[in-house]
């Protein structure tokens, strides 16, 4: 017997933040804390608990500003929902049976760069 729990967090909160997003940031950071704590509680029962933290993901409700911000990632575009889904599918699969208590960031490398303005700084 085994189980998989995959929570959807965000990079906003546990990794970065934005002005006027205090409650959102707190909720998503709490989701990561819950993921880690629950992972410890249920690991011996064959259950893994992980989180996926998306960055700029383009959806039908994305604003022009959000899409533009996604273009400033090192990969040069916002993410796609299916890219987040692929990370979730991996964590839910047998291939992730030894992965627990972790947060996988799906953000095109955005959280690893200091400069986040338009243009090409280094590439």
The position carrying tokens 């929570």 is 7
- Catalytic member of 2, 24, 115, 122: 24
Residues 84 and 106 sit within 8 Å (Cβ to Cβ): yes
Q: Find out whether 34 and 64 touch, Cβ atoms under 8 Å.
A: no
Residue 2 bears catalytic tag:
no
Cβ atoms of 74 and 109 closer than 8 Å: yes
Q: What residues are labeled active site?
A: 24
């Amino acid at each position: 017997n085994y189980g998989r729990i995959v929570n959807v967090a965000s990079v906003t909160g546990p990794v970065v933040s934005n002005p006027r997003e205090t409650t959102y940031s707190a909720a998503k950071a709490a989701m990561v804390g819950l993921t880690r704590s629950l992972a410890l509680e249920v690991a011996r029962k064959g259950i893994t608990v992980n989180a996926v933290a998306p960055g700029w993901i383009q959806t039908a409700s994305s604003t022009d500003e959000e899409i533009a911000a996604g273009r400033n990632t090192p990969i040069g575009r916002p993410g796609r929902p299916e890219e987040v889904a692929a990370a979730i599918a991996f964590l839910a699969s047998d291939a992730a049976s030894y992965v627990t208590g972790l947060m996988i960031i799906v953000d095109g490398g955005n959280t690893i760069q200091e400069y986040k303005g338009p243009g090409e700084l280094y590439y």
